[in-house]
Amino acid sequence: MSLLRKFAEQAILLDEKKDYEGAVEAYVKCIDILMEDLKIEKDTKVKDGVRQKIERFIKRAEYLKKEIEKTSIPDEMFPQVPTSNLVPISHADESVESFRQPSSNDLLSKEEIRVLMQTSLINGIKYVPFMDIDLKEKFSGSGKFKDVDGLLKLANKQKDRLKGWKRLEEISGKPVIIDKIDCKSVKQTVVSDCSFVASLSITAEYENKFKKQLISKILYPQKNGIPVYNPYGKYMAKFYVNGIKRKVIIDDLLPVGENGKLLCSMSKNPNEFWVSLIEKAYMKIMGGYDFPGSSSNIDMYALTGWIPERSPLKSSDPEVTIDNDLIFNKLFSRYHQGHCLITVSTGKLSNEEQERTGLVELHAYAVLDLREIDGVKLLKLKNPWTHYEWKGNYSDTDKTRWTPSLMKTLCYDPKSPHNNDDGIFWIDYKSLIHFFDVFYINWDPNIFPFNAVVHDSWDAGTGPIKDLYTVSQNPQYTLNINTEHEATSIWILLSRHITEINDFENNKEYITVIVYEGGNKIYLPFDVKPIHNGSRINSPHYLGQLLIKGKGLKKYTLVVAQYEKSKTILYSLRVFSTARVSLKKIPQQYKFIEKLNGIWSGVEEENKSNFLIVLDDSSDKNNLVFEIKAPKQYHVSVYLRLVALKRPDHNTYQTASCNKYRNGYNVLELKDVPAGTFKIEVKTYIENQHGPFFLSIQSSCKFKTKIA
């Protein structure tokens, strides 16, 4: 059996077994063998056939690289949130430490300040960072306060029913902001923000259950730490948006319809207005009540600053198995410790399914409780509409499964008038897995004692549109971890700043973070296998989770990546850890840079692919990087050959080259190059090819170049 046939059969076998990394390696070996054959073959027809085989192998290898990129997941799918003996859990302070605020003690860089200020302008209105001085905001004045930004845009259903805008005292004779924080009182009406209202419900339930202020810390003015009614009609809200806590000012004008009925989310208590005011402040940031809809973890992040995670219950890939029992056990344990907030969303349901089940398609439900009794996993959900409930197993209408023992354990009586279509119901986990698609979870960042953050930007014109071949111009960061534990939990949160509602509604930016060991700059994305290569997602938030084994100082490189980059992005990159961490951007390493245009003409005397470089004679310890970019059909490499040394008696340096030919891009990184004259040769694997290329030279010393 020939060597080519051996590797080809191996590649096909690995491909069929979905061992894509092994298959790519075998396909590359086939390509290398065929390249050698092409160089010695004389027959034109045979050479054409060899080229076609090479193209087929290249095409398949490139496809598999994309599949690796999409499906690669960390070995620990669900790294454990740190246990209480490693992490002191503190509920004393409501502030989220990870949201670094500008202060004399914690200075932001000029670039970070630029990013945070640039993304203060959201939907044409400026929302500045929330500072300590804002706690002294003036909430009094003559007459009634009117928001200078005007009335909010209305949703179509609101427009159809609108009779006017009224202030709180016109709606209620005894208005209060908070009478009693109760998830049962939160009611969605005509605004299509079920994810936000579900987030309000579960956040209210959490504050009630764990006595930790979340909802009651959002609105101002306050008295004794509780929001109070302001006769002047001015209110201030605090949300976590675009990398930092931000300040939102609103008046108390609310849209009303027939008989003064509110056309916005509300409390079932007609005198209580925290639901309506928090919704109004959030809708203002989002561009108006004509909100296109969101995901609950995005909304809960804005409300609380808690770390957002998306945990699907189903996979579209038949080769990927989701361990739903593992998910339930993790959520069950952490929910009852007060470590997380949870909602769950349905997928597409037919009209017949909706009628039969009582569920609403593409709808968010708050998770109010999780239990496991006699081997049955149960969840207590709330529909933000406060009516229209589940009709299946363990519903109010289920006459076979509600035993006296179960009702007593759950303090629940399906026949009670209090449970008469209030939108709250129990459902078994098997049914939930069948009819629901995804859990949205937000984790309390205080379970991680250490964190680091940078705010940065990535210009659209920097680097290629796709980073399949090189990540040299992607933003990169060194993460240092100093741990005394055998295992360290690291969560990496990349949050893209969004400033326009159209960008939020039609998010076309697919983002992720790739993690490599070492802490050094990465040029080739697959030259070294990443320890984490996240799927690119079109969500404002990407969360990567790692479990690091072993004690001591460890260094990692974090690479921000996009799929088909089309616009400049501004973002915040956060790391949460059970060990001490530092996060710093990898700077431009070389002071002296030159970019050259070259061409392979196919005729040696007309080629502009060889250059001479003369390195400054001040040092024999020079560092250089040569980057070659060319059409992807060319396999390219760079050679550096010695011509003459400045100090020949002290050095035996001869030649260096890339370790292999690569299609479209290659890099040669050199250390301790002596002063002297060298010849740079930019080559294609197949001789006498035609085409242009770009050569970038970066050096730690001064240098001069010319065409050789």
Q: Which of 383, 446, 533, 622 is catalytic?
A: 383
Q: Assess whether 664 and 517 both reside in one domain.
A: no
Could you confirm whether 363 is annotated as catalytic?
yes
DSSP strands (E only) in 265-363: 266-267, 307-312, 340-346
Lowest-confidence region among 14-18, 228-232, 412-416, 615-619? 412-416
Give the pLDDT of residue 106: 56
Q: Domain check: are 439 and 494 in the same one?
A: no
pLDDT at 72 over 50: no
- Place 42 in a pLDDT band, splitting at 50, 70 and 90: confident
The predicted structure's pLDDT at residue 105: 38
Is there a single domain that holds both residue 407 and residue 487? no
Least confident of 228-232, 558-562, 648-652, 699-703: 648-652
Q: State the CATH number of the domain containing residue 691.
A: 2.60.120.380
Per-residue confidence at 463, pLDDT binned at 50, 70, 90?
low
Q: Which residues lie across from 681 on neighbouring strands?
A: 610, 639
Per the CB < 8 A criterion, the answer to whether 482 and 580 are in contact is: yes
Residues 148, 199 within the same domain: yes
CA distances (Å), origin 567, targets 428, 525, 629: 44, 21, 22
pLDDT for 74: 39
Asked if residue 509 has pLDDT above 60, the reply is: yes
pLDDT in the model for residue 588 = 83
- Judged against a pLDDT cut of 60, whether residue 86 lies above it is answered with no
Show the DSSP H helices in 350-401 as ranges: 351-357
Structure confidence by residue, pLDDT tens digits, 567-600: 899 999 999 999 999 999 998 888 899 999 999 9
Domain co-membership, 580 together with 600: no
Would you say residue 85 lies in a domain? no
Output the pLDDT for position 299: 94
What CA–CA distance (Å, rounded) separates 594 from 647? 25
Phi, psi of 326 (to 5 degrees): -60, -40
- 266 part of a folded domain: yes
Nearest CA to 475 out of 486, 497, 491, 460 is that of 460
Q: Do both 436 and 533 map to the same domain?
A: no
Domain annotation covers residue 302: no
pLDDT (0 to 100) of residue 253 = 98
Residue of 123, 297, 363, 451 marked catalytic: 363
Give the single-character DSSP code of 395: S
Render pLDDT for 261-312 as a digit per residue (tens, 0 to 9): 999 999 999 999 999 999 999 999 999 998 887 889 999 999 999 999 999 9
pLDDT per residue as tens digits for the range 555-568 = 999 999 988 777 89
Lowest mean pLDDT among 93-107, 272-286, 470-484: 93-107
Q: What's the domain range around 140? A: 123-297
Containing 44, the helix (H) or strand (E) segment is helix 44-71
CB-based contacts of 329, cutoff 8 Å, min separation 6: none
Confidence at 93, pLDDT banded by 50, 70, 90: very low
**Annotated catalytic residue, options 183, 194, 264, 701:** 194
Same domain, 692 and 620: yes
Last residue of a domain, one of 585, 619, 652: 585
Find the range with the poorest average confidence among 54-63, 95-104, 312-321, 338-347.
Answer: 95-104
Q: Mean pLDDT, to the nearest integer, of 641-649?
A: 86
Domain CATH number, residue 31: 1.20.58.80
Domain boundary among 547, 565, 585: 585
Q: In 184-272, at which residue ranges do the beta strands (DSSP E only) sit?
A: 186-187, 219-220, 222-223, 226-227, 234-241, 244-251, 254-256, 266-267
| Residue 115 to residue 475: CA distance in whole angstroms | 15
Residue 418: pLDDT band (50, 70, 90) is low
Q: Which residues contact 52 (CB under 8 A, 6 or more apart)?
A: none
Assigned domain for 116 exists = no
Q: What is the pTM of this model?
A: 0.82
Average pLDDT over residues 456-484: 86
| % residues pLDDT > 70 (the chain) | 92
- The predicted model gives 615-642 an average pLDDT of 92
pLDDT surpasses 50 at 487? yes
Q: Tell me which of 100-114, 451-465, 613-627, 665-679 is least confident.
A: 100-114
Tally of domains within the chain: 5
Residue-level pLDDT at 603: 65
| Residues 291 and 419 both lie in one domain | no
Q: State residue 193's pLDDT score.
A: 83
In this structure, are strands 226-227 and 222-223 parallel, antiparallel, or unpaired? antiparallel
Helices and strands (DSSP H and E) totals, the chain: 14, 36
Same domain for 490 and 425?
A: no
- 218 in the same domain as 165: yes
Is residue 427 domain-shared with residue 405, that is, in the same domain? yes
**Is residue 189 located within the same domain as residue 322?**
no
Does some domain include residue 154? yes
**Cα separation of 611 and 135, whole Å?**
64
Question: Lowest-confidence range among 26-30, 197-201, 676-680?
Answer: 26-30
Phi, psi at 531, each rounded to 5°: -85, -15
Rounded to whole angstroms, the Cα distance separating 412 from 418 reads 10
Residue 64's pLDDT is 81
- pLDDT tens track for 359-372: 999 999 999 999 99
Among 250, 267, 297, which residue terminates a domain?
297
